[in-house]
Amino acid sequence: MQNSKIIERQNIIRDLRNKFQTTSYNHTKDPNSIQKRDFGLCLANGLEAELEGNNKDAYIYYSKSIELNEINSLARHFRLDFILNFIESKANSTNILSFDQIMEDCKWQVENKEEPNPKKFHEYQFLLLFKYYFTYRENSKGADYNSILQSLEQKKAFEISDGQDGADKFYCIFTFAVINIWSYYIPRKVAINKFNSVNVSILNYLSKTPNDIEILDQRYKLLVSLFAKTYHFDNNIQALNIIINLAKARLKNDVKDEESYNEYALYLLMILGLGIHERQREIITLVSEFCYRTNEINPKSINNLIYRADLSIYYGMCLDTENIDKYINQANDLYLKAESIDSKNPKLYSIWAYSISRYAKEAPIKKKPELYASAFGKYRKATILEPGCCQNYFNWANSIIQFALTADDDLRQRYFYDASQKYLMAIELGRPQYGLSRAYALMKEEDKALSLLNTRLKDEEILPKHVIKDPAWKNYLDNPKFKVILDKYSE
């Protein structure tokens, strides 16, 4: 918080306490004086708690002051401002914010015209909501995404100073942001339909404003998200060509943007993570270029260090297997450097664990136990730092099963059970259930395994051709019930 804002709030605290804590405050002339006093002192306590860094008490006091005086704009203003500061600081306490109360404050200020610039306030409202989702994903599973999308439609129709083009651009950016998160919690086919719908809006906007870098960046991320949802189903190489061309076009553009470069690198790494072989060297070269440009802008970018480390392992595994140990050591040095900068970064440990697991799967058998043990330790840190991220538990469970399939027979069932518990955590946080069906299959829980498999095939999370190749189902290939389920969903 800036010094000027701190001084301003200290003055407000002093004025509130002087007014309501002194004997000169007349409680008899106003029948609501006690409630007004409680409101004033509660608001002062909230401001004081926020200045002291006591986030939980600050939020409680602000919320209580609003209960005492619902029409006072000052209390709502301070609570919204506190929430934004809280989210920006990425504080560790993730269970004190109420999504409903955030929406309530936003709507109240709009309806009561407390914000003199409606366009600015609406953008602030949605930026706040999406920062909230990205920071506290565990709270987003049960969010009413349809209501948010309806709000975005209303925002698009809202008369703003930039005119309709401005409204269309805002709609494209934030609708994609909502659906990109929502896609974690809905069936794959539904997610694809929603991504395609946003893509139409983006293309419509680009038909009028073809050189808008921000929207071109959004289209790139959207196409990668779509590609990730569809590649193993339709092998859409044409979509991959478009993605690569967009990435090349972004490199030719002179607009230098650290965040944009990092996102291009991350999304290309996501494509490599799908295990594709087409244009692999070209994708690795593009990631390297984006990382290089980010490093020119900010050599201490922790995201860039993470992506360079991940890229190093991909390079060794895909392009120079004879010298893989050299690239593994390079990656480890970069990860350790990132850790020295920010040891509380969950993304660091999540990607670190995933990249180790990816290499461990292909590594010589004698190296596997040490590599997997290291990966499991990193996943453990990631889940401690970000307990609501379903992807961490899902990837961790996948890694456990990978290792269990190479372990001694007497240890396998223990590992399979451990994986099932991680899958259950992922499901509790919104992840689809195919992984758990694999664990049950390996644990010889036939009824549970086949029931979940049937559901996942029905929702098109997976296809029969992929199930047949999955080693988890190796002992079910001659099972009549298993064959009936696969036949039902085969093309």
Rounded distance between C-alpha atoms, residue 28 and residue 428, angstroms: 54
Domain boundary residue, one of 80, 114, 148 = 114
Q: How many domains does the chain have?
A: 2
The answer as to whether 169 is a domain residue is: no
Q: Name the DSSP class of 275.
A: T
CA distances to 83, 269, 345 from 308, in Å: 33, 10, 16
| Structure confidence at residue 26 (pLDDT) | 55
Q: Which long-range contacts (CB under 8 A, 24 or more apart) does 339-344 make?
A: 341/300, 341/302, 341/305, 342/302, 344/92, 344/385
> What is the residue range of 466's domain?
432-491
The answer as to whether 199 is a domain residue is: no
Domain boundary residue, one of 114, 143, 176 = 114
Q: pTM for this one?
A: 0.74
The answer as to whether 51 is a domain residue is: yes
The answer as to whether 459 is a domain residue is: yes
Q: CB 181: neighbour CB atoms within 10 A?
A: 19
The answer as to whether 12 is a domain residue is: yes
The answer as to whether 443 is a domain residue is: yes
The answer as to whether 141 is a domain residue is: no
The answer as to whether 107 is a domain residue is: yes
pLDDT tens digits for the chain (491 residues)? 567 778 888 888 888 888 877 545 555 556 567 788 888 889 999 999 888 888 888 888 888 888 888 767 778 778 877 776 766 555 444 455 665 666 666 666 556 655 445 445 555 555 555 555 544 444 445 455 666 666 666 555 444 444 556 667 767 877 787 777 777 777 778 888 888 888 998 999 899 888 888 889 989 999 998 888 887 666 677 888 999 999 999 999 877 888 889 999 999 999 998 888 888 999 999 999 999 999 999 998 999 999 999 999 999 999 999 999 999 999 999 999 999 999 999 999 999 999 999 999 999 999 999 999 999 999 999 999 988 788 899 999 999 999 999 988 888 999 999 999 999 998 888 777 899 999 999 999 999 999 999 998 988 888 898 899 999 999 999 999 999 999 998 86
- Scan for tokens 């099932």, then name that residue: 420
Domain boundary residue, one of 91, 114, 137 = 114
